[in-house]
Amino acid sequence: MSYSIQAVFEPGTESSPEPDDNGTGSPLSQDQKHTERMKELSNIRPHTPVSLAGYLRQRKYPQKVQKVAVPDPYVGQVEYINDYELVVEQFQPLNTVPQGLVAKHGFDFGPEQRHLHFRTDHRLRDNLRQRSRALALFRKVLFVLGFDEIETPLLFKSTSEGAREFIVPTRSKGMAYALPQSPQQYKQLLMASGVVRYFQFAKCFRDEDLRSDRQPEFTQLDLEMAFSGPAQVRNVITVLINRIAESWNLTWPLDHPPIRRPYADGEGRDDSTDEGISDDTNGNPRTIKHKDAAKGNARKTNRTDNEDRLPLLGKPTHNIPSLSYDEAMCYHGSDKPDLRIKGTIHRVEDWIPQSLKGMMTSLQEPIVEAFALRLKHPRAAKGTGGPEVSEEFIRDFMDSPAGLRYSQNPDGMPGIAVINPRKPLEGLAAFGHEAAEKFVEALHLRAGDILVLQSRPNARVRGGSTILGDLRKDLFHAAIAADVHEVDKNIIAPFGLCSTHHPFTSPVPGQDLDKLATAPLDVVGDHFDLVINGIEVGGGSRRIHQASAQEYILRDILKLPEGKINEFSHLLKALGDGCPPHTGFAFGFDRLMTILTRTATIRDVIAFPKSGSGEDRFVGSPSPMTREQLETYHLSVAPDSSATEVTAEPTAGSDIKISQKA
């Protein structure tokens, strides 16, 4: 057999070859017959690509364990197959490696050495392998569900969709393409073209400030369904997430707290066992009668168009719980709840004495909310020093830079108590007997639990989180970092949020459509997000499929000038030609991969990511434009002390200027 590898021998030793694409390798035979050849091979510099010719044979004395993971100094962890060895009869170097090349596992490589970083870090290589497997799995499931993968153009036009765009100049004077922020308009055009179910892994581009979870170019799993509403799309998302969880051996939290709905009917409701519902072709809830052949009785059931295809996939094991925006803010203090955090937030201003409220805040008639954090740690168990561990942890956190935001909160710093059986009222004496009993009963408090209270203005919350919601998340992550709280790394806690958003989102049917003309600020968009472990990984919505409604929003609600409205003339024309109702969703694929690979940044799941400044320092992009390029695209550069202006030659009497900071 022939075997081509990257040699990773320590000079002067007989080591093993670099693993294959699956991270496995076989030891080399070191019997006396091939001693001289092995010595020659071991003198080759590490990372030299070589071709080996020989054969595999079973080892005379195989170890009991067939496979063993071994840390390799050059390529990271390798899983060796111990019951076979490679007998080398011939070898040939395929290239040379420069003397002094530093390429070992654990070395701090700069972005200019990305190829060496991958070569020496098994985790990065595995991240890319998992990314490939996830792409294949999503495609397989969507094909079974009747979706077609259709590519849409990358050279688009500039439209008013919110984020700053990347502009691509052309050789036609003053004319330019724009790279798409998403395939939003093209996929709606596909729905108007008779495509019923579409998906693609789309490259999207946004010229915006970058964070650890953002890149100027990113991958989006984009899908759209005609003749459907949000419930049908959510069923597809549920199937996809279930399949990913099963394939990655992830644990779905079975002790997730019931979803209560206090705003709907004034009383709590347990939605933890709710079944998914389907929509009719207009997106309205429907039931379908079925005939029970054995009993001859008609029965009603909720059904989706996907059920006919589910035997090929198996019914999803778990449903994804969902909340409205108001409910998420009420119970979790965040529109991106992390359901790995046990318990919920409670309103408690009626429980505590007025004098204590006055000590907590200067707000008049404040809302006071509370939650309990239980540390899951051997020392935090009842009777084994739990209160002392909790007291030390919360004291260190509040004294840290992360705690300054909360201790200096203008609405009042948080009130904190640790449940300690050795103290009066178990550490809750400041609240009085009656309030202490309510806290213990409602929050199921026990020794070592940390009780946190926070006041806020008595008004409906806005934005993405409350101050207490942020503190709850920060304490959870700080406890993990401080090694006083353990969480199963294999847990995946998906959550669906129903909320608002972009100008192509349809209002909630029957509830808000009529409000567009009378009270547009009260309109709620029929939009939904997917949050996993506190990270927003996707969003979708029912689209506006009527040209008149879409034009009304652009013209009368958003107040776009006529020229901006004309940017969407192609879409308005397609909608006006009888476009069916449709709903879509988009996964942030890079963010999802950080969860599956348990990495902190999306840069570790992308082969060649951009830096925080948007640069790819490995290849040196972006690069300066040459004089020839400037002339070809009718551009000129005007130096300035604070900025460089790139100016396109005007056409039709208008000046076009693109300013870039130097």
461-484 confidence digits (pLDDT tens): 888 899 999 999 999 999 999 888
Q: Is the pLDDT of residue 270 over 70?
A: no
Average pLDDT of the residues of the chain: 80
Determine the average pLDDT of the residues in 642-650. Answer: 49
In a domain, 613, yes or no: no
H or E stretch covering 328: helix 325-332
In a domain, 345, yes or no: yes
Residue at a domain's end among 481, 503, 531: 481
Q: Is the pLDDT of residue 209 over 70?
A: yes
For residue 44, give the CATH number of its domain: 2.40.50
Q: What b/e readout covers 127-145, taking b as 16+ CB neighbours within 10 angstroms? A: bbebbeebeebbeebbebb
Number of domains in the chain: 3
Name the pLDDT band for 8 (thresholds 50, 70, 90): low
Largest CA distance in the chain: 92
361-387 pLDDT, tens per residue?
999 999 999 999 999 866 554 444 579
Name the pLDDT band for 308 (thresholds 50, 70, 90): low
- Find the domain containing 632 and state its range: 627-661
Q: What is the pLDDT of residue 275?
A: 34
Beta-bridge mates of residue 621 = 616
Q: What is the pLDDT of residue 39?
A: 76
Backbone angles phi, psi at 53, to 5 degrees: -125, 135
Residue at a domain's end among 481, 501, 531: 481
Mean pLDDT is lowest, of 49-58, 126-135, 244-253, 260-269, for: 260-269
Q: Of 205, 164, 167, 163, nearest to 648 (Cα)?
A: 167
Q: What is the pLDDT of residue 641?
A: 56
In a domain, 451, yes or no: yes
Q: Is the pLDDT of residue 553 over 90?
A: no
In a domain, 329, yes or no: no
Q: What is the pLDDT of residue 233?
A: 92
Q: What is the pLDDT of residue 261?
A: 41
Determine the average pLDDT of the residues in 45-66. Answer: 74
3-state SS class at 445: coil
Token digits of residue 349? 């201003």
Determine the average pLDDT of the residues in 497-521. Answer: 62
Q: What is the pLDDT of residue 653?
A: 37
Q: Is the pLDDT of residue 88 over 50?
A: yes
In a domain, 657, yes or no: yes
26-30, 73-77, 136-140, 500-504: range with highest mean pLDDT: 136-140
13-23 pLDDT, tens per residue?
444 445 555 54
In a domain, 426, yes or no: yes
Q: Is the pLDDT of residue 522 over 70?
A: no
CA torsion 79-80-86-88 (nearest 10°) is 70
313-343 pLDDT, tens per residue?
667 778 888 888 888 999 999 999 998 999 9
Q: What is the pLDDT of residue 312?
A: 58
Q: What b/e readout covers 45-61, taking b as 16+ CB neighbours within 10 angstroms? A: ebbbbbebebeeeeeee
The percent of residues in the chain predicted with pLDDT above 70, rounded, is 72
Q: What is the pLDDT of residue 136?
A: 97
For residue 346, give the CATH number of its domain: 3.30.1360
382-441 pLDDT, tens per residue?
444 579 999 999 999 999 999 999 999 999 999 999 999 999 999 999 999 999 999 999
For residue 588, how far is the Cα from the chain centroid? 6
Token digits of residue 165? 């765009």
3-state SS class at 463: coil
In a domain, 13, yes or no: yes
Q: What is the pLDDT of residue 584?
A: 94
Q: Is the pLDDT of residue 113 over 80?
A: yes
Determine the average pLDDT of the residues in 186-207. Answer: 95
Determine the average pLDDT of the residues in 244-255. Answer: 79
65-86 pLDDT, tens per residue?
555 566 777 777 776 666 777 7
Name the pLDDT band for 112 (thresholds 50, 70, 90): very high
The percent of residues in the chain predicted with pLDDT above 90, rounded, is 47
In a domain, 369, yes or no: yes
Residue at a domain's end among 481, 516, 540: 481
Q: Is the pLDDT of residue 267 over 50?
A: no
DSSP symbols for 602-630: GGGGSSS---TTS-BTTTTBS-PPPHHHH
